[in-house]
A = this chain, B = another copy of it.
Amino acid sequence: MAGRAGLTAFKLTQAGAEMADDLGFEQVTLSALARRFDVKVASLYSHLKNSEDLKVRLALLALDELADRAGEAIAGRSGKNALIALANAYRDYAQAHPGRFVAARYPLSDTVAATSSGVKLSRMLGAVLQAYGLSDNEQTHAIRFLGSVFLGYTTLESAGGFAHTAVEAQISWERTLDALDQALRHWPV
């Protein structure tokens, strides 16, 4: 026997995130995680409340990482440049970490969601929108609009929804960003 595995909730979450990217979010089970650490499943319950707990941790990790990248992307930029940088960070993350990206959409309770990096992300969208000079209420509408486009586009793309047409996805993405900028500059009061 080679001593203890030295498990932590964090290590488990980290490993789960890697598994999610490699095998898919739905393949991340406590059983698979236990196999990976050469440990019995029951042992995981010392570190995780249950399998739901693991999924929530994965969601929070993904939101954290996503918010970090978004923050770096918009640093020192504003206006359309900031918009493009944030959008690309979002899309790049989804492509580099498909499993984590699915995890980021795992439904969280209201209280957990309120303390997640999801709100950070939402505030960053607001920061990017500053340059477009909208009122507070309109900014909220615009944040929802932006969030919808980012989520929808990356979801469709990562699900292979664009793979069947010969038309380049990269161009579609550029058009999408241009269209967004256009819509924001002429926001329908």
Beta-carbon contacts under 8 Å, A136-167 to B = 137-138, 140-142, 144-145, 147-153, 155-156, 159-162, 164-165, 167
Taking the closest CB of chain B, its distance from the CB of A140, in whole angstroms, is: 4
Query: For residue A47, which residues in chain B have a CB less than 8 angstroms away from its CB?
Result: none
> Which chain B positions have C-beta within 8 A of A164?
110, 113-114
Report the separation of the CA atoms of residues A156 and B105 in the bound assembly, to the nearest whole angstrom. 9
A45 at the binding interface (Cβ < 8 Å): no
Q: CA separation between A15 and B131, bound complex, in Å? A: 51
> What is the bound-complex CA distance between A138 and B165, given in angstroms?
13
Residues of B within 8 Å of A160, CB to CB, are 107, 110
| Chain B residues within 8 Å of A148, by CB | 148-149, 152-153, 155-156, 176
Q: How many copies does the complex hold?
A: 2
Residue A186, interface by CB 8 Å: yes
Q: Is the interface of A mostly helix, strand, loop or mixed?
A: helix
Known: A172-B141, A179-B188, A183-B179. A159 touches B107 (CB 8 A): yes
Residues from chain B with a CB closer than 8 A to the CB of A159 are 105, 107
Cβ of A182 < 8 Å from any Cβ of B? yes
A37 interface residue, CB < 8 Å from B?
Answer: no
Residues of A within 8 A of B (CB): 105, 107, 110, 113-114, 137-138, 140-142, 144-145, 147-153, 155-156, 159-162, 164-165, 167, 169, 171-172, 175-176, 178-180, 182-184, 186-188
